[in-house]
Structure 1
Amino acid sequence: MLRRKFLHYSSLLGLAGSLPITSLQVANRTHVNGEVQSDRSYWTSLLYKIAAPVLSNMSQGKLKKNMPVEYSSSWDNRNKDLAYMECFGRLMSGLAPWLALADDNSPEDKQRKQLREWALKSYANAVDPASPDFLLWDKEGQPLVDAAFLAQSFIRAPEALWQPLDKNTKSRYIQQFKALRRVSPPYNNWMLFAALIETFLLSINEEYDAFRLQIALNKMSEWYVGDGWYSDGSKFHFDYYNSFVIQPMMLDIRTIQLQKNKCSKADYDLTLKRAQRYSSYMERMISPEGTFPVFGRSITYRTAIFQPLAQLCLLQQLPDGLSNGQIRNAITTVMKRMFSIEGNFSKEGWLQLGFAGHQPDVADYYLNSGSMYLASVGFLPLGLPENHPFWTDNAEDWTSKKAWNGQPFKKDYAVDY
């Protein structure tokens, strides 16, 4: 039964994915093989296609058995079992807000309920030593990274994903999260993984390491280079790690701190303003054709580069001058451009190494096909209900499309915060 459901939704998405770029019309609704599909339906079908193989298998303790893992050709010989933790943790970080929506008997509700049911079983298996899908928690340093993405999923959907877990499972997560204090993170974005885990413990009123959290915030403040950009450590790297990790985790940490009276409103507002400024760059990165520049490491995370922009849509905190219809139209265009290319998924439906299609040589030495599931964080606006203006506003052109079509557009100036 589960397999039939998955194949049904996969086939729907496959129709959209096989169309040439010239036939993809981006608006509130898109014509696919004579049928009308809303932008939201496209997003939900695509995210379901990404998530279903992972969660349907892991909920049964069969992820390790059935997931084909592809490793970078320059793989550095770290423990290969890390792939499963990367896959599950990263997927859930982006999937969480959608699963947090209340049941509403909408057409997408069957997808969402099914994924939530699978996810809760998968969370339990991830920390159950008796499960075949018990994840790699206690070897090497990499588990710190993907445990942080799991913690982030709980922060983003506590009522849907943390509270329903049984007492024993919750205890196991708390134990594993605290045990990861054995990992001393290098002085770069990894400090935020340690801080995010401590932030989650703070959010559930559990004992947390305040120093481990604060030192990360202090270093990020020190590494802020201006105009919305943080340096990833003492030396600036021009890549998308402000998108993948830094800006979203800074904002999630400050949000919980503010709720718990552990930071000032001014601290939160500054973090938000920097995230807004950075996100304005991400919007301007999208070309009139729906592409964006390919530079820096980890480019195979695909739609994850839009995480800060997607997060601000979810929080309803878009920068001045950017509208819901503008951002939805721009990101939808990119998704359709990227996922219309053959090879993003294997024949069995799993994400593969690559940027647009199957491009294994693009993968960095630390990447495997499980790593690719960070792409889910580009889908955060699905946490907004279907009647929200993000989904109902008319599609608008984004900045570069306006500029290159001779339309008026907002000029850009540096900021000094």
Structure 2
Amino acid sequence: MSKYTLFTILLTFGALSAAAQKQTGVEDRAAWARLLYKIAYPVVHNLSQETLKQNLPLETGPDYYLPVKKVTYLEAVGRTMAGIAPWLALPDDNTSEGKLRLQLRTELLRGIAHAVDPNSPDYLNFRTESQPIVDAAYMAQAFLRAPKALWEPLDSVTKRRVIEEFKSLRNRKTAYNNWLLFFGMTEGFLLSIGEQYDPLRLDYAYRKMKEWYVGDAWYSDGPLFSFDYYNSYAIHPMMVDMMKVMTDKKLLPVEEYDLALRRMVRYAEFLERLIAPDGTYPPFGRSITYRTAAFQALSQVALMEKLPSYIQPAQVRCGLTAVMRHMFEGPQNFDANGWLVLGFNGHQPMIADQYTSTGSLYMATLGFLALGLPADHPFWTAPAADWTSKKAWSGQPVKKDYKVEF
């Protein structure tokens, strides 16, 4: 491990530890920003330098069955983009955080051009295999989350190339589960920018996911229910973001979007309660190597300022900071060059799924969406507050839980 890498790790985790001990919003935000930058930097910087394919490790889970060199690079890029987009959408400023944001956004815009340039060594594969359907969707979601920061600044050639890559996905069929939403996202993005889109794929994704709603804010992942974090990894956030486009374009009544949003808010309540008093959370279900992506829906609800009145923004901030501290306060989740390693909290390749490679892991950035709230927002400025399980286990008053009928 180089001295620079070690220094960066110590700086990041030192900030996280300090934030956890003092629990001020300024320290929490600094810890989030440094950590998100540390996770995203290897992907974004290497793509900007056309060295992503050269330097991204190709570690895979047991019984991995995909052609890793055809899929892992787009996985890393699309997932990273979706997680950092709200943060990069904030206005420029002269703070140390602002400088990190500006650097990352500048390099990402350069990298996106390389990603869709057939003459670049880092030209990403959208044209073959099924997996790119997934990760093009996360790229599309990033554009929807930060259009002025990530889409509008692109030159016309790059924009046209992105559009053509998204349209090229239509020659493949998707799986009969949450993957329907991935086509919904790319088609929804095309609709949002006035491009020709496939209304059938968009409408079918909405209708099937609505049909697979099983109650109390949980969707089934296809015909059969799976107890895992996919309602947060993909289903709620993509359902809401896709339906927002459809509502804006008058393809759905606003009441349908409002219902989907209410369901995501209720699901976010479950996620907040899953954070244990010490900041750990249960590693159950598929794809636990996605780490902090388990809290994407909670972070997005906070970003949208839709938390219920009885959940203070500060308790979400403190709970998520505690999660990040427990997961990233040591170097166990990074290799010597700063890339994420297969595992949940450490190098644990035995728990990686058969579709998981190094690029897959960058789903972890999705837990940081609330960093898109400005530094003067109450999420960051309010005094520290205990989250629900910490209150419950210390004998404090706790709101009784309930079930929903919608």
The reply on whether 1:350 has 2:343 as its aligned counterpart is no
Query: Is this contact kept in 1: 2:333–2:343, CA < 8 A?
Result: yes
The reply on whether 1:159 has 2:159 as its aligned counterpart is no
1:258 CA displacement: 2.0
Whole-Å Cα distance in 2 between the matches of residues 52 and 79 of structure 1? 21
Aligned residues: 405
Whole-Å Cα distance in 2 between the matches of residues 187 and 346 of structure 1? 36
In the superposition, relative to structure 1, how do residues 249 and 26 fare at CA in structure 2: closer, same or farther (>3 Å)? Answer: farther
Whole-Å Cα distance in 2 between the matches of residues 7 and 121 of structure 1? 28
Q: Secondary structure in 2 aligned to 1:120?
A: helix
Map 1:264-413 to 2 at 5 A: 264-413=253-402
Query: Is this contact kept in 1: 2:5–2:338, CA < 8 A?
Result: no
Map 1:40-55 to 2 at 5 A: 40-55=29-44
Q: Secondary structure in 1 aligned to 2:332?
A: coil
1:7 CA displacement: 8.0
Q: 4+ runs of 1 displaced by more than 2 Å?
A: 3-11, 14-17, 77-81
In the superposition, relative to structure 1, how do residues 6 and 317 fare at CA in structure 2: closer, same or farther (>3 Å)? Answer: farther
The reply on whether 1:133 has 2:122 as its aligned counterpart is yes
Whole-Å Cα distance in 1 between the matches of residues 4 and 187 of structure 2? 38
Whole-Å Cα distance in 2 between the matches of residues 166 and 76 of structure 1? 37
In the superposition, relative to structure 1, how do residues 4 and 127 fare at CA in structure 2: closer, same or farther (>3 Å)? Answer: farther
Query: Is this contact kept in 2: 1:148–1:193, CA < 8 A?
Result: yes
Q: Secondary structure in 2 aligned to 1:38?
A: helix
Unaligned runs of 5+ in 1: 30-36
Whole-Å Cα distance in 2 between the matches of residues 79 and 51 of structure 1? 20
**CA deviation profile, 1:28-55 (whole Å, cap 9, x unmatched):** 15xxxxxxx7100000000010111111
Whole-Å Cα distance in 2 between the matches of residues 93 and 74 of structure 1? 28
Task: Name 1:179's counterpart in structure 2.
Answer: 168
Query: Is this contact kept in 2: 1:299–1:355, CA < 8 A?
Result: yes
Task: Name 2:12's counterpart in structure 1.
Answer: 13
The structure that is helix-richer by fraction is 2
Whole-Å Cα distance in 2 between the matches of residues 6 and 89 of structure 1? 25
Counterpart residue identity of residue 27, structure 1: Q
In the superposition, relative to structure 1, how do residues 382 and 96 fare at CA in structure 2: closer, same or farther (>3 Å)? Answer: same
Task: Name 1:25's counterpart in structure 2.
Answer: 21
1:263 CA displacement: 1.4
TM-score by length of 2: 0.96
Whole-Å Cα distance in 2 between the matches of residues 24 and 160 of structure 1? 31
Task: Name 1:261's counterpart in structure 2.
Answer: 250
Counterpart residue identity of residue 145, structure 1: V
Aligned-residue CA RMSD in angstroms? 1.8
Task: Name 1:123's counterpart in structure 2.
Answer: 112
Whole-Å Cα distance in 1 between the matches of residues 113 and 266 of structure 2? 39
Whole-Å Cα distance in 1 between the matches of residues 185 and 63 of structure 2? 29
Whole-Å Cα distance in 2 between the matches of residues 6 and 393 of structure 1? 33
Whole-Å Cα distance in 2 between the matches of residues 5 and 319 of structure 1? 43
The percentage of counterpart residues that share the same residue type is: 52
1:79 CA displacement: 4.0
In the superposition, relative to structure 1, how do residues 293 and 11 fare at CA in structure 2: closer, same or farther (>3 Å)? Answer: closer
Query: Is this contact kept in 1: 2:5–2:337, CA < 8 A?
Result: no
Of the three residues 71, 78, 83, the one matched with 1:89 is 78
**CA deviation profile, 1:130-183 (whole Å, cap 9, x unmatched):** 000000111111110000000010000000000000100000011111110112
In the superposition, relative to structure 1, how do residues 79 and 348 fare at CA in structure 2: closer, same or farther (>3 Å)? Answer: closer
In the superposition, relative to structure 1, how do residues 373 and 328 fare at CA in structure 2: closer, same or farther (>3 Å)? Answer: same
